[in-house]
Amino acid sequence: MPVYEYNGLSAAGKKVKGIIDAPTPRVARTKLRAMEIFPVDIREEIQMPQKAEDPLTKFFQRIRPQDVSIITRQLATLLEAGTPLVSALDAIIEQTDNHALKKVVAQVREEIKEGRSFADALEPHRKVFTDLYVNMIRAGEESGALEGVLLRLADFTENQTRLRNRIRAALAYPIFMVIIGTVIMGFLLTFVIPTVSQVFAEMGQTLPLPTRILLGVSAIFRKFWWGLITIFILLAVGARRFLQTPKGALQWDQIKLRLPLFGKIILQGAVARFARTLSTLLQGGLPILNSLDIVKTVVNNQLLAQAIEETKLAVREGEGIAPALKASGLFPAIVTHMIATGEASGNLEQMLVKVADAYEAEVETKVTALTSILEPVIILAMGLVVGFIVISILLPIFEMNQLVR
């Protein structure tokens, strides 16, 4: 449904502006008059495109988790100050600069005006508001503690975004080095080496083994680059389709957990998300079974999701969370011990927060340490490759100088 931006006058004669959701401009004007707003100017601000968007525009107008976190905290602040929900959403719409997010919030506001609950109004926008978000809002509405739930959601989203950004920042330099090194190697093998090979061909003498290897690799790149690219694309497409199947996703998740160095970091990151999300849901008032249903979707690992599903079945039969998690053999012993202590003492939520804090800090530390090791390793590997190319080029020149002497 289109969203219209309007300028008008209130019943008291004051200038007002805002956004309204309506199928046509005529219906929008009718709705504004019903709100005792007399429109002076109304125009369609945002319309869901029927054709493909400009990729650059789509990139800058995408709704990021931090955008949702910001409006969540602002909404909690407004509600704590006694502002009605619809008026608070009006304020959010007016101050946000992201047009895509503005459209979504405007549609949510209109659905609330039509009598739907806040959670039901968020339901159609699952790409923006996750299952965790919607279910937390629903629990907050039912318990009458919506402001507190919104603050917990804002804290949760900010914490996850902060950890993700730190990991990305730590990995940015090694990834950049790999890309630059690949481009340089491709340039040398495709353009520089062929020029040098012509000089060697005119020498009419037997070339050293390293030089022959280098010229052979360069010839393969020049003559069969299209074939190499085709093979790479086919392998990438095939791997992607395989990983989209349940069997492929499960096998890939098993491989990730067994990777040297990286496997433990991946497991610890998943455990941290599990603990943080479960704690947030339980603090928000959701039942344990519903919370486990949501948590298994955020660990991003089929193996762990199966373990959580088995834990949910065990809890339904009256068992505790800790024994079921321990039986899976995937969760570290210290995690199951801390959860068991939390269940026994009645402080499960606080214990889960401690687990999340500990593992998030450990993941960040290990990623930083790993990248500090990767950086010199990447530089060394690039140096060896460049050194091999230089030696391969210089060896025939040295041999030619010896012959001249």
Average pLDDT over residues 67-91: 86
Residues written for the chain = 405
- What is the rounded distance in angstroms from the CA atom of residue 273 to the CA atom of residue 168? 17
Average pLDDT over residues 372-397: 83
**Is the pLDDT score of 55 beyond 80?**
no
Would residue 62 count as lying in a domain? no
**Is the pLDDT score of 17 beyond 80?**
no
Average pLDDT over residues 81-110: 85
Total-model pTM = 0.68
Looking at every residue in the chain, the average pLDDT score rounds to 81
Would residue 144 count as lying in a domain? no
Would residue 286 count as lying in a domain? yes
Average pLDDT over residues 332-350: 89
> What is residue 237's predicted lDDT score, i.e. its pLDDT?
92
Total domains in the chain come to: 2
Would residue 103 count as lying in a domain? no
> What is residue 235's predicted lDDT score, i.e. its pLDDT?
92
> What is residue 404's predicted lDDT score, i.e. its pLDDT?
54
Which CATH number is 17's domain given? Answer: 3.10.20
Would residue 378 count as lying in a domain? yes
> What is residue 56's predicted lDDT score, i.e. its pLDDT?
43
Q: Percentage of the chain with pLDDT > 70? A: 91
Which CATH number is 280's domain given? Answer: 1.20.81.30
Nearest in space to 395 (alpha carbons), one of 267, 174, 203, 164? 203
Q: Higher confidence at residue 316 or residue 12?
A: 316
Q: Percentage of the chain with pLDDT > 90? A: 3
- SS3 per-residue string spanning the chain: CCEEEEEEEECCCCEEEEEEECCCHHHHHHHHHHCCEEEEEEEEEECCCCCCCCHHHHHHCCCCHHHHHHHHHHHHHHHHCCCCHHHHHHHHHHHCCCHHHHHHHHHHHHHHHCCCCHHHHHCCCCCCCCHHHHHHHHHHHHHCCHHHHHHHHHHHHHHHHHHHHHHHHHHHHHHHHHHHHHHHHHHHHHHHHHHHHHHHHHHCCCCCHHHHHHHHHHHHHHHHHHHHHHHHHHHHHHHHHHHCCHHHHHHHHHHHHHCCCHHHHHHHHHHHHHHHHHHHHHHCCCCHHHHHHHHCCCCCCHHHHHHHHHHHHHHHCCCCHHHHHHHHCCCCHHHHHHHHHHHHHCCHHHHHHHHHHHHHHHHHHHHHHHHHHHHHHHHHHHHHHHHHHHHHHHHHHHHHHHHHC
Would residue 117 count as lying in a domain? no
Confidence of residue 51 (pLDDT cuts 50, 70, 90): very low
Query: Same domain for 264 and 400?
Result: yes
Predicted confidence (pLDDT) per residue in 108-129, tens digit:
888 888 888 888 888 888 888 8
Query: Which strands, in side-by-side order, build the sheet including 37-46?
Result: 15-21, 3-10, 37-46
Contacts 24+ apart (CB under 8 A), 356-361: 356/272, 356/273, 356/275, 356/276, 356/279, 359/268, 359/269, 359/271, 359/272, 359/275, 359/335, 360/159, 360/163, 360/272, 360/276
**Is the pLDDT score of 57 beyond 70?**
no
> What is residue 48's predicted lDDT score, i.e. its pLDDT?
42
Range of the domain at 287: 173-405
Cβ(290)–Cβ(367) under 8 Å? no
Average pLDDT over residues 171-199: 79
Would residue 68 count as lying in a domain? no
Would residue 163 count as lying in a domain? no
